[in-house]
Structure 1
Amino acid sequence: MDEEAGPFLDKTEVAAQDFMVGEAHYYPRTLKLENSDVPLLLVRSKIGLVNAATAFTVALELVPNPRVVISAGTAGGLRQDINVGDLAVGLDYTYTDADATAFGYVRGQVPGMPEKYSTSAELLEVAREAAADYQGEGNVFVDTMLAGGSFVTAHNVKDTREIFSQAISTDMETTAIAQVASSREVPFIAIRGISDLCGPAADQDFHMAGEIVSERSAQLSTALIARLVQSETHWLREENND
């Protein structure tokens, strides 16, 4: 959504004219760090699994070998210990409403596809380092993230929590992007701010404005990018010294 893209537009500079392909909006940008300028392609896909997968497939034609792909923005909080304003970082990803268990598949698994899609150990390590240094508001949770074609609400959250007991969040795009990234063998991670709780307890706030949590998502996402650039520069420096 526009409010999810906004913080990234504020933190980056225009690199070329933005454009649309179908429903998706593409923004070539530059993230200026202390010692380098990092090229970014910001994509606002609109809502839904198909919109996200389509927009990302086009993006991969424009940037065939990205250093990292990040699904950013907002999500619904799922696990009981997560609150609005917190951040969800993906360990692995599956579908909320995929159910082919009658044919021997696990819940969340699309027939013929992996049970889950995972962030690589190397990328996850850098993300954990960025999360440990995160100075913004809200706590950072790292675990399973869900996505599906339906909203999880208080009406159906009990079933979802029982089946996916470790899942921290749910949205309508992330797993589709993870699936495409896996098929193309590009590094992927999701970093989303919790704007709503799917089934809040009586003493929990259940909503926070999307632009607020999107800013937190953008803050941690850009910190991760900076760390990746630093680690890559350090590796290249060591290689040149050898």
Structure 2
Amino acid sequence: MSDDAASFAACVGAPAVFVAMPEEAAPFLDAATARCTAPQPIGTAETYALELDGRPVLLVRTGIGLVNAASALSVVLELFDPAVVVSAGSCGGLRSDVNVGDLVLGTEFRYTDADATAFGYAPGQVPGMPASYPASKELVAAASALPAPEGRVLWRGEMLSGGSFVTAQNVGATRETFPTALSTDMETTALAQVCHTRGREFTALRSVSDLCGPGAGQQFHMELDVVARTSADAVLHLLRSLPTA
């Protein structure tokens, strides 16, 4: 068996971390004490077999968007059977008291732009599916003990995802529909839905890179590599707290 084949074989049943962009993958690759020599492609996604703090971890770069995330996870579940899935990387700050650099721990996940309310469904609910997808209670409990980023806040609560960017022009309607939501991105809820249907433990730890509707005096943007490191550090702390197989 080649070294890469052995590395990927070791990732069967290991935790899987999902990011969308190369910049979000970079901190995990930098932190690895061992890694595959080349990523394994899944369509346009890439998987990396890593060793982090002495344990195998599968890193998956999906590309941006709900379909890219869900399709990559579906294949990963078949090939690697991860018991734990974590969404990492950046997000947009949605609630008015969230600031750039803050860390968001997801406890439930909804879609911003699923709307079947005319048929009696809740905003963000896909017909036939729950109104929201809950995170793993065990993972949330473990991640709640994480230290907040220096000078920033660790939030825990509702995260949104959709196929459209939430901007200053449309943030008002989103906040009105989802008044408790902390953040928005374009992958996490799709991952949560797949994990829900497949019975896998899931949560998200993402750091805020932009504010969808900044208030007066708020910094509205932080560099992607900075927030990617914040998210990755939190995920690495979380992985350390999990029992090894």
TM-score, normalised via structure 1 length: 0.89
* Aligned residues between the structures: 224
Equivalent of residue 142 in structure 2, options 111, 118, 126: 126
Q: Please state whether the residue corresponding to 1:115 is helix, strand or coil.
A: coil
**Mapped pair 1:10 → 2:30:** yes
> Who is 1:63 aligned against?
80
Shift of 1:12: 1.3
Q: Distance in 2 between matches of 1:188 and 1:138?
A: 24
Shift of 1:221: 0.4
Q: Distance in 2 between matches of 1:60 and 1:120?
A: 17
Shift of 1:135: 5.4
Name the Cα RMSD after superposition.
1.3
Q: Which structure has greater helix proportion?
A: 1
Q: Please state whether the residue corresponding to 2:168 is helix, strand or coil.
A: coil
Equivalent of residue 194 in structure 1, options 205, 208, 215: 208
- Name which of structure 1's ranges 136-145 and 45-54 shifts more when overlaid on structure 2: 136-145
> Who is 1:240 aligned against?
none
Letter in 2 for 1:123: L
Contact map agreement 1:87 1:191 (CA 8 A) in 2: yes
> Who is 1:210 aligned against?
224
Letter in 2 for 1:40: V
Letter in 1 for 2:116: A
Shift of 1:181: 0.5
Letter in 1 for 2:107: L
Shift of 1:136: 3.9
Listed as ranges, the matches of 1:1-242 within 5 Å are 1-16=21-36, 17-32=38-53, 37-64=54-81, 66-130=82-146, 133-134=147-148, 136-229=150-243
Q: Please state whether the residue corresponding to 1:9 is helix, strand or coil.
A: helix
> Who is 1:237 aligned against?
none
Misfit runs of 4+, over 6 Å: none
Q: Distance in 2 between matches of 1:194 and 1:120?
A: 22
Shift of 1:15: 3.7
Contact map agreement 1:137 1:216 (CA 8 A) in 2: no
Letter in 2 for 1:101: T
Letter in 1 for 2:97: D
Q: Deviations over 1:189-233 (max 9, x none)?
A: 00001000000012111110111001000000010010113xx69
TM-score, normalised via structure 2 length: 0.88
Q: Please state whether the residue corresponding to 1:69 is helix, strand or coil.
A: strand
Unaligned runs of 5+ in 2: 1-20
Contact map agreement 1:193 1:217 (CA 8 A) in 2: yes
Q: Please state whether the residue corresponding to 1:59 is helix, strand or coil.
A: helix
Q: Please state whether the residue corresponding to 1:82 is helix, strand or coil.
A: coil
Q: Deviations over 1:5-24 (max 9, x none)?
A: 00111111334342212110
